[in-house]
Structure 1
Amino acid sequence: MRSTLAALYAALVLAGLGAPPVWAQSGGHMMMMPDEMKWTDVPSLPPGAKISILEGPISEAVPFTFRLKFPANYQIAAHWHPAIEHVTVISGTFNLGTGDKLDNSKTVALSAGGVAIMQPRTPHFGWNKDETIVQVHGMGPWGISYINPADDPRKK
């Protein structure tokens, strides 16, 4: 009896922590090599950034995953997102900081494998020296709101 209850408890814990809901929504597995990713411009970020959407759509209330490729010497002004954002550095070094204004001296340098988890509506900013690729995932819809509206490239 005790082992049956333990097994049931373990199964419930694993069910709660295990397979993400996207598996049920995707209808199957997806595998992709980096050279198969389609990169496009990102109107909501300063010119030069490219996006490859791996899972989404990012505009709906579903899990999303995308990669961003930033050219050398790229900066993203202070902004926030409506939902939690998980960022993993794939290559290069991405410098992230929190606050209402981009300040290169107040950032943490995240190298490949580094992770940042930004809570909803947390003002933050980023920059890099060399080409950098990051992977972003979370629950949509994804959006970006700039602290200073003049920094929003969609309004230029």
Structure 2
Amino acid sequence: MFSFRTLSAAALICTLAGGSALAQTGNDVRIISGADTVAWQPAPPMFPSGTRMSFLYGSADKAGPFTLRVMIPAGSVIPPHTHNMDEMLTVLGGSIHHYIGPAITADQDKVLTAGGFVHLPPNVPHALKAGTQGAIVQVSGTGPFTMTYVNPQDDPRHTNR
């Protein structure tokens, strides 16, 4: 699993579930100097246990652009789901198996490594599985963001974490 040093406790962060906007520096400029200065926190319960998240810009639950990073533990699966918006996903570290469609099938398995990119229009069902070293992905879009599991029983919010 990739791990990055987190910012000091004074760092300003935003949670997907909490909805507070990430504070911006003057004139809406936001600079993160390197991977070691990204502030990670537990992801909301709609993601697999152990997943961590960092908001780099914006707030996914409000109208407007956002960019976030997701650190997915090795072997973790995000079952088939859809989003209400265009999603742009870039693999920054590790690898993911990406699947398009309402089920995870071998014929849809596309392995993406660092630098790999996916654009998904709204409501396209897809899934992913982190590789053996885990993965860090960056997601950009325009909120508000929703995530709906194709099979509601796959939603981690309906199971004990």
Q: For 1:5-154, list aligned pairs within 5 A.
A: 27-32=27-32, 33-42=34-43, 43-129=45-131, 130-154=133-157
Q: Distance in 2 between matches of 1:115 and 1:73?
A: 20
Q: Which residue of 2 aligns with 1:13?
A: none
Aligned residues: 131
1:103 is displaced (CA, Å) by: 2.6
Which amino acid is the alignment partner of residue 47 of structure 1? Answer: S
Report if aligned partners of 2:93, 2:135 keep a CA contact under 8 Å in 1: yes
1:8 maps to which residue? none
2:30 and 2:57 in contact (8 A); partners too: no
TM-aligned CA deviation for residue 102 of structure 1:
2.1
Alpha-carbon separation, structure 2, partners of 1:38 and 1:46:
19
Percent of aligned pairs sharing the same letter: 34
Deviating above 6 A after TM superposition, structure 1's stretches of 4 or more consecutive aligned residues are none
TM-score (normalised: structure 1):
0.79
Query: Does the 8 Å CA contact 1:44/1:152 hold for their aligned counterparts?
Result: yes
TM-score calculated relative to the size of structure 2: 0.77
Cα offset, 1:104, TM superposition = 4.6
1:63 is aligned with what amino acid?
Answer: P
Return the structure number with greater helix share: 1
User: Which of 1 and 2 has greater Rg?
Assistant: 1
RMSD of Structure 2 on Structure 1 (CA)? 1.4
Deviates more, 1:129-138 or 1:32-41: 32-41
Q: Any unmatched runs of 5+ in structure 1?
A: 1-25
- 1:56 and 1:73, CA in 2 relative to 1: closer, same or farther beyond 3 A? same
- Report the AA paired with residue 70 of structure 1: I
- Contact map agreement 1:104 1:127 (CA 8 A) in 2: no
